[in-house]
Amino acid sequence: MIEPCDVAKRGVKTKGRKLSIVYSGGDDLFIVGHWLDAIETAHDINRYFRQYTGNKFMTISGGIAINHEKYPVYQYARDAEDAEKKSKSKEVGKNALTLFDQALKWNVLDKVIERVRLFRRFLKPQEDYLAVDESKLPMTFFYRLYSLAMSLNSDGVLILPKAAWLVSRARFKESDPEDILEIKEAIMTSNRDEWRITETAALITLMMMRKGDRGNE
C-alpha cells in the first residue's frame, strides 16, 4: 500500500489535508487548499493512478497555482488551467505537473519530493512551521542554496566554486553522516537537471520555514 506523501511530517494520514474539491467531472479535477497539501496531493494522485492503471501509456497532467488566501477562486482556476496547458504543451509532451511556472515530468517531481525529504532532515519542527536546526546547518544555508540554483538555471552562472564554499561553511556537527554525504552529493554537481531539482526543492523547503506555512494552522 502506498503511504500518503507527508514531507513536513504533519501526520496527514490521520489528520487529513486542508483541501476542498471544487469540481470533479470526466477527467478534470479542480482542488483548492493549502499549497503544501496541493503539491503532496498531486504527487499522490499520480502515484495512485499509476498503481491503479498499471499502464505506462495512460498519463495525467496538471498545474498548480499558488497565491495569497484572498486571491479569487475563479482566478486560481484560470491560473491553474494555464499551468496545466504548459504541462501539455508540445515542448513538455504531457505527463507532467507545472509548479512555480516550471513543467516537471512526474519522475522529476518524485526526485524533488525526495530532495525535500533530505532537506527536511536538517530542520526541526516548531508549532506551525519548520526551522533550521542551528546545530546542523546555519540559518542562511537554504537561502544561499536557492540563490545558487537560480543563478545557474536562469543565467548559466558557474556555481561549483560557490557550492563548495557553501558546503565548507556548513556546520554538520550533529547530523547523520549519511545525510551529510547525501546533501553534499546533491550540491557538488555540475548537472543542470540536478540543480533544477534542487531549486524547486529548496523553494519548497523555504516556504515550509515560513511561520504558518507548514499546514498546521
Q: What is the pLDDT of residues 140-156, one digit of tens each?
A: 899 999 998 988 867 66
Beta pairing class for 96-99 and 102-105:
antiparallel
Q: State the CATH number of the domain containing residue 28.
A: 3.30.70.270
Regarding whether 191 and 161 lie in a shared domain, the answer is yes
Q: Which three cell numbers stand for residue 113?
A: 519530493
**Number of domains forming the structure of the chain:** 2
Regarding whether 177 and 92 lie in a shared domain, the answer is no
Regarding whether 129 and 64 lie in a shared domain, the answer is no
Span 157-212, pLDDT tens digits = 667 888 888 888 887 777 888 988 999 999 998 888 999 999 999 999 999 998 76
Predicted TM-score (pTM) of the model is 0.91
Q: Which three cell numbers stand for residue 119?
A: 532537506
Regarding whether 80 and 56 lie in a shared domain, the answer is yes
Domain span at residue 57 reads: 1-105
Regarding whether 144 and 56 lie in a shared domain, the answer is no
Exposure letters 207-217 (e unless 16+ CB within 10 A, then b):
bbbeeebbbbe
Q: Which three cell numbers stand for residue 135?
A: 546545530
Regarding whether 138 and 191 lie in a shared domain, the answer is yes
Q: What is the residue-averaged pLDDT of the chain? A: 90
**Segment 109-116 mean pLDDT:** 97
Choosing from 105, 136, 160, the residue where a domain stops is 105
What gap in Å lies between CA 159 and CA 87, rounded to an integer? 29
Span 12-70, pLDDT tens digits = 999 999 999 999 888 899 999 999 999 999 999 999 999 999 998 999 999 999 999 89
Regarding whether 127 and 99 lie in a shared domain, the answer is no
- 187-192 long-range contacts (CB < 8 A, ≥24 apart) are 187/145, 187/163, 188/160, 188/163, 188/164, 190/160, 192/152, 192/153
